[in-house]
Amino acid sequence: MQHMTATELAEWLARNPQQPQLLDVREPWEFELCHIDGSRLLPLGQLPTGLDALALDPEVPVVVICHHGIRSRHACRLLEHAGFSRVINLSGGVEAWAEQVDPSMPRY
């Protein structure tokens, strides 16, 4: 599992033509309050059974997002066990994104 800071992700999204898949594993109420544009929601508790419905491409990097980076780290392990080899944990989660990249993002 790799780790990436919010600043590194913002730079990647701004410069790289091959965009990663952004997977947010928080709860729906958290996602509605704030999320990174382009991210798709699948709460951590639903990941084992809901992964097929998302149709993620195992060949494209997946950046996993949560509030602070703990749930996303667990989700990364689940994704690796499911055969995803390019899994990246967003260190600090949306809290770091709000602090380092988008100060207008609501925080909780």
List active site positions: 66
**Tokens 């703990």 belong to residue:** 70
Rounded Cα–Cα distance for residues 59 and 10 (Å): 21
Q: What type of residue is 28?
A: P
What Cα–Cα distance (Å) separates residue 106 from each residue in 97, 99, 101, 103? 10, 10, 12, 8
Rounded Cα–Cα distance for residues 25 and 30 (Å): 10
Burial class (CB in 10 A: 0-12, 13-18, 19+), 99: middle
